[in-house]
Structure 1
Amino acid sequence: MQNVSFVMVHVGQSTEAQRNLRHGLETRSWGFPDWKPEFRTAHPRFAVLATGLAPRVPFAQWSRGKITLHLFEVVQNFHRGKAPHWPDEDAENTVKYPVRFGIEPLAMLRDVPLDEHGPLGLAGSDAVRRSGIERGIGKLVDLDPRPLLVAAGIGERWEEHQEIPLNRTPGITVEQLEAPKSPKRRRRGAGFISDPKKRKAIELHAEDMAVAHYEHEGWRVERLGKPYDLHCTQGDEVRCVEVKGTTGAATSVDLTINEVEHARNPQNTVDLYVVSDISVNVRVEPYATSGGRVTHIRDWEPAEEDLRPRSFEYRLPRS
């Protein structure tokens, strides 16, 4: 089996580090403070964010311990972030982690042994340790992914197709992460600030970019909002456009069941227009937005293996 590239990251136990872990999970993004030469040409397939064990110990001692692993697929490669994104960046209005990449959560594994019998092997285990010693800077290492995928219960299709169907993975939620030690710091919930005005500004920025794009192509554009965002016509041709915006990386988007069913209806021609890495200045009123990286999918029809349910509708027993 051919090895693939992993980026191994140690995440500290401080309140700030754990808050950033939550935010990274929510926004499907991770980042480092410094560029390393190998980042500019690397194309990692997976990322592991590990937490729960102090790294500044000899490797012989480290390898006798256990750790919690958060396994991700790397969906967007290393790129330069130009605007504050993480909570501590927003607080200081500066970019502290310019080296960024997009991650899709696959599974969380607790109490993973770090010795030669563990799914990381000694090379992966030591890469995590070295990352922790160097302020969480990612360490690239080539590994056979099978032991880790099997341990996560998601390895059944890797042997044949070298792919991970999203609908076969459990994912990771912020509720699974351990709570901060100080309950006073949790008043905003999972370290993620929910700001309706910021969310609305992001949505409007993405929609404005999509409108400008289609109008430039000669389409007549009508903003609907529901059942889809933009109704575009050009002669007899009609396109329905779903627009999504995020300050994070272009890895995945939240969809309603109606959006999925509408895109799958053969009577509809649907495009997906995603604007990621949007910068938001919350220090002015109204909030100012700028920038963004576009992912544009024409004739979009979401496949089953690319969908992972977030919640279920439960029918109560008849009374």
Structure 2
Amino acid sequence: MTVRVVVTFVPKKATANVEWGLRKQIWGIPERHGPVVEAPFEWLVICSEVNGLPHGPRAHADLWRDRASLTLHIARRDSGVVTEGLLPLWPDELESGEVRYTHRFAISSFAEVAQIAAAELPEDLLQAVSIAHAKPRYLELADDDLLRLLEYAGWDATELPSVPLGQDAIPSVPQRASGGQGFTSDPRKRKAVELHAEDMAIDYLERVEGWTDAVRVGKPYDLKFTRDGAEKRVEVKGTTGAGSSIFLTVKEVEHARGNETGQPIDLVVVSGIELARSDDGGYVASGGRLAHYRNYLPADEELRPKQFEADLTTAPDSVVHVGSW
């Protein structure tokens, strides 16, 4: 099976647009390249950094294969393409006061593949990336190849998530268009978001709710508090997105539905967290909106499976065992 992909290249002078677009979860293409995204596509691959090419990206594919290493951002397209009623959004648009990216759509950021050798890319993707500096490229990529790229970045699912393209429009003002928690493969980003969300949850539950003695547990829930001999367990989720959906592990769901204390857990979601680079090259998280779900019980209709564990109970006479070779 294949997935439909648009590959685009961002020059160094516009790399601030990449960080802004991934954080706000919206992407745009200039009008002259609009026909590329008018074709049906499901995934976006952004090439934001290339090293090893002595004269820049205008090099033959063989030179890319032999010498280049590059950073790719993989995002899922989450809406239709909007071309009307637009305002300047990206840093270079705001600086110039004009709309430069006239074909816009919502995205969910799934992974950053940092400085992968170009030779490790699937051949058709390498060809598209090597000429994307001139024009975004559309291609049909084997879904296994896209999964391998996501796995390279640390994504551990066994199948690609569905692509929700039913949304007809996206906002033209600066706000996040995707409602989900999103995914980032950079452990520094994940840790910064996670700790900031926990810090906000501790401050809120101690200062506003009156709980004390916060303990960071980690698994199968994040925080434990006490008050007048009672115990409160809290699951915390942090996201740079809108926080209308979150990721839960099987253990987290099981613990919320029943644990040895017999007490329900609370869920705290901190959404809209901002990330900035720190002086040491890491990330600093700030801001966010806190939502407190008391006695949280995940209902079946609210849960969507991302992958399945299959017990192999096939009748023995229908299985061929070939051993090793």
TM-score by length of 2: 0.49
Aligned pair 1:37/2:53, yes or no?
no
Task: Give the Cα separation in 1 of the matches to 2:182 and 2:88.
Answer: 33
> Is 2:143 the counterpart of 1:139?
no
Which string of whole-angstrom CA distances, capped at 9 and with x for unpartnered residues, describes residues 124-182 of structure 1? 11211221123xxx211111223212222325330xxx427977943569969xxxxxx
Partner of 2:242: 253
- Structure 1 residues 263 and 7, CA gap change in structure 2 (3 angstroms): farther
Task: State the Cα RMSD in Å.
Answer: 3.7
Does 2:7 match 1:8?
yes
Equivalent residue number for residue 121 of structure 1: 122
Specify every segment of 5 or more residues in structure 2 that has no aligned partner in the other structure, as ranges: 51-55, 164-179, 191-239, 245-267, 270-289, 307-325
Residue 89 and residue 36 in structure 1: after superposition, are their counterparts in 2 closer, same or farther (change >3 A)?
A: closer
Cα contact 2:47–2:70 (8 A) shared by 1: yes
Q: Tell me the amino acid that sits aligned with residue 34 of structure 2.
A: K
Describe the SS at the equivalent of 1:37. Answer: helix
Query: Which residue identity is paired with 1:253?
Result: A
1:199 corresponds to: none
Q: Is the 8 A contact 2:26 2:107 kept in 1?
A: yes
Structure 2 distance, partners of 1:89, 1:173, is 31
How many residues are aligned here?
A: 188
Is 1:170 aligned to residue 170 of structure 2?
Answer: no
Report how far residue 260 of structure 1 moved: 6.1
Query: In the alignment, is the contact (CA less than 8 A) between 1:71 and 1:107 conserved in 2?
Result: yes
Of structures 1 and 2, the larger Rg is shown by: 2
* Partner-residue secondary structure (3-state), 2:109: strand
Q: Is the 8 A contact 2:181 2:241 kept in 1?
A: no
Structure 1 CA distance for aligned equivalents of residues 115 and 49 of structure 2:
9
Give the Cα separation in 1 of the matches to 2:45 and 2:295: 33
Deviation at 1:23, TM superposition (A): 1.0
Quick one: which amino acid aligns to residue 4 of structure 2? S
The whole-number CA distance in structure 2 between the counterparts of 1:79 and 1:173 is 33
Task: Give the direction of change, closer, same or farther, for the CA distance of 1:103–1:173 in structure 2 (3 Å limit).
Answer: farther
Q: Which runs of 5+ in 1 are unaligned?
A: 177-250, 267-298, 307-319
CA contact under 8 A between 2:83 and 2:103: conserved in structure 1? yes
Contact persistence 1:264–1:302 (CA under 8 A): no
Structure 1 pair 37/175, CA: closer, same or farther in 2 (3 Å)?
same
* TM-score, normalised relative to structure 1: 0.50
Sequence identity (%):
22
CA distance in 1, matches of 2:11, 2:124: 20
Q: Which residue of 2 aligns with 1:68?
A: 71
Residues 106-255 of structure 1: pairs in structure 2 closer than 5 A: 106-115=110-119, 118=120, 120-134=121-135, 138-144=136-142, 145-158=146-159, 162-163=160-161, 169-171=183-185, 252-254=241-243
1:86 aligns with 2:90: yes
* Distance in structure 1 (CA, Å) of the matches to 2:303 and 2:93: 36
SS for the counterpart of 1:77 is coil
Once the 2 structures are TM-superposed, how far is the Cα of residue 108 of structure 1 from its aligned partner? 1.2
